[in-house]
Structure 1
Amino acid sequence: MKLAFSVILFFVTYPMVATAEEAACPQLEGNLQPGGLLWGTVAPTAAIVFEGIDVPILPDGSFVLGLGRDAPSSVTLTVSVETDGVSISCDLDIAKREYRISRVEGVPQRTVTPPEEQLERIRKERQLVRAAKAQVIENQTFLRAVQAGLAWPAEGRISGVYGSQRFYNGKPGNPHYGVDIARPTGTPVLAPGPGVVTLAEPDLFYSGGTVILDHGYGLSSSFLHMSRVDVSVGDELRTGDPLGAIGATGRATGPHLDWRMSWFNQRIDPQLLVPPMP
């Protein structure tokens, strides 16, 4: 499947006169909105910094970067060539995005306000997740597959969307960073694209059965609340390979899959990378 991308133009400021072709602002394709991915190409000798992140560059000069849920109205991408001392700042205007507000009742109170004895467990589990997402796997095949378009990891009713703000038992929670697919417990969950498993945990406090699949160069998918985890850390998967099964583990009121994506510390909207739900 080919995705339709928009071509993005930059407002460019020059910290110094650019004399090297390698330091030109790249044309980007993708979704210039919070939750979107952007794709571009620079000379392989160039370096890119975006939102404080050193952007990995593939051997052919191509790269990907992500816009988080709360991306500001303007962001800056800096392209430089160390050998020439040339640096160019490329300013991007980000489209505004509105999010849904929803209320979820009946969540076990211990997961809304965790008891004191669970705080150390939660802290350790967050460290596990951060470490899994911090890995940079340089596999061009994985990333090219994502750019070509991902598949849905499960098909069903969409019960929750990216960016929405949830109130649990009347208490505001963190924004929702994924897309929820409601299906019965035991429904297979399949890899939406190729990657390497960097986390496979059967019972995390908040997310229950959880898998993280790394697509390369800082981009990863997470699959939450699964009743069964069928993969192990280090497994290399192709599109359509089984990951586990839908469930209602962790902080969940019913069986569903919560599919999330991240580019380093930026949360990406998976729905922008797949066709409409069948």
Structure 2
Amino acid sequence: MCKQMDKLVIGGIELDSRLFIGTGKFPNKKVIPNVIKSSKAKVITMALRRVDLNSKEENILDYIPKDCILLPNTSGARNAEEAVRIARLAKAMGCGNWIKIEVISDNKYLLPDNFETIKATEILAKEGFIVLPYMSPDLMAAKSLVSAGAAAVMPLGAPIGTNKGLQTRELIRILIDEIDLPIIVDAGIGKPSHAAEAMEIGAAAVLVNTAIATAGDPVKMGKAFSLSVKAGRMAYISKFGPEKNYAQASSPLTGFLNM
């Protein structure tokens, strides 16, 4: 597949970066513009509760370049009704019509409620939102999200903030194989190698927050993730050589003695 044909399009918009990043957990918000620049991310997610239009100093929007796509999330919503309310508020505040649905009532593992997520997705998609739902990787739930009007599906790789990588790899692979929407791996990616692995199995993109924000050097880590995402995608579209159960020499082992 040539580079020109390998496009990521969500909500009618072609994206030139497959790395989405978050804005939470940074020790200093002033580093966020440099992280966005080094990571080359164009889709930036943020919790609406962190937006304070009355306080310039605390307004997270001041740290996000105007050429980026805002992806407000419904963090804090415990059911579909609350998620819908937060999404509508984000749009009314001028954050655009992209929304990441997070519906979480589990306070220990912070696992998403797929049932409530599907309900919120259907309501908001009908209202014209570009809905990217965060979900536990389940094929039937993903199919329901497609029917509900999701623009992409965002399965977790591991519980939020754990940095454990693709603990749900096989379930994500099934979604990639069966769902005709971009699959964006969200949550749990802790290292650039995890991001590359997600891209190598065919993910359309990854969303990374904790691993970059809590790194010793978030700016350099942002660049590292950018490179790993590009490498993983390039490897995927190049198609891997077959795996074998037995050794096979790269060069002939016989014939050179008779020269």
| TM above 0.5 | no
Bigger fraction of residues in helix:
2
TM-score, length basis structure 1? 0.23
Bigger fraction of residues in strand:
1
TM-score, length basis structure 2? 0.24
